Structure 1
Amino acid sequence: MRIVKQLIEGKREIYSIGPDQPVLAAIQLMADKFVGALLVMRGDELLGIVSERDYARKVILKGRSSSDTPVRDIMTADLITVSPHETVHRCMRLVTDKHIRHLPVVENGNVVGMLSIGDLVKSVIDDQAEQLEQLQRYISG
């Protein structure tokens, strides 16, 4: 089973936004970068995460303005983070049990990456395909 460090090595940069930025800027950045969530950071300090789900539930459904609402008002501040040394299996368990889709990766207090449920599922599928191939080679002799 792979560890988080292996997954984040191949990932592009970490996308973030400041807490005082308008939600509209966050949604625009997510659209531009093809991501479903952004870390909310003040400098190097991780404050929370804001996702498309937060936008839908805390702006659209409540009739708030995307341009007048700051990210800090809709972000999730009670974060679940993982270390680069966690296993993919443990991360899958976390996202499943906690009903979340993104995991910030933190080492020594610094953000070093971000995993999505898609990253985790792809890793599990790749591992299973590799195991199946090994079994087929073993059976074939």
Structure 2
Amino acid sequence: MSTVAQILKSKPVNQPVRTLPPDATVREAIELMAEQRIGALLVAEGERIVGIFTERDYARKIEVRGRASATTRLAEVMTPDVLHVSPATTTQECMALMTDKRLRHLPVLDAGQVVGMVSIGDLVKEIISEQQFMIAQLESYIHS
């Protein structure tokens, strides 16, 4: 069973977790997310995480409610209670947490420091890879 640390190792090294301060506008966040091709970013005051802003937050709290992206601050619409995992967390544990809490992104913290972010897509890719490896091993065993 693989861990979050293994998933992070397979990601590009130059892909840091993007953050913005709570007083940044939603427009700034959406532009950054589009530019970086990411679905979520952390809202931070210095080194302290105070929230997370996702595409889902935009759809449900801005677009549907008719708010203006250019004037709405992240602090007004971010999700303040940020669940996170550690590098030692298994893919299965992440999937269970994401399914139970209906999350698509989980920050990864190690000793209180952000070391990465995993998405549901990252987990699905890893689980499929594990299953393909297991199938190949079983087929090899059967044909031996």
Q: Does 1:43 align with 2:20?
A: no
1:80 Cα shift?
1.0
**Which one of the candidate residues 99, 102, 107 is aligned to 2:105?**
102
* CA offsets 1:95-125 (integer angstroms, 9 cap, x no match): 0011010001111111111000000000000
Q: How far did 1:44 drift?
A: 1.2
SS of 2:71's partner is coil
Partner in structure 2 of residue 8 of structure 1? 8
What's the counterpart of residue 140 of structure 1?
143
Across the aligned residues of Structure 1 and Structure 2, the Cα RMSD in angstroms comes to: 0.8
User: Residue deviations 1:23-55, cap 9 Å, x none?
Assistant: 001001111111111111122111110001101
Report the Cα distance in structure 2 between the residues aligned to 1:45 and 1:9, rounded to whole angstroms. Answer: 24
Match of 1:90 in 2: 93
SS at match of 1:104: strand
Distance 2:46 2:142 in 1: 54
Paired residue for 2:126, among 110, 123, 126? 123
Alignment correspondent of 1:27: 30
Displacement over 3 Å in runs of 4+: none
How many pairs were matched up?
141
- Structure 1 gap segments, 5+ residues each: none
Q: Shift in Å at residue 13 of structure 1?
A: 1.5
Percent identity of paired positions between Structure 1 and Structure 2: 48
Structure 1 length-normalised TM: 0.97
Counterpart-to-counterpart distance in 1, 2:117 and 2:75: 19
Aligned to 2:74: 71
The answer for unaligned runs of 5 or more in structure 2 is none
Q: How many angstroms does 1:10 deviate by?
A: 2.6
Q: CA deviation at 1:89?
A: 0.4
Distance 1:48 1:8 in 2: 21
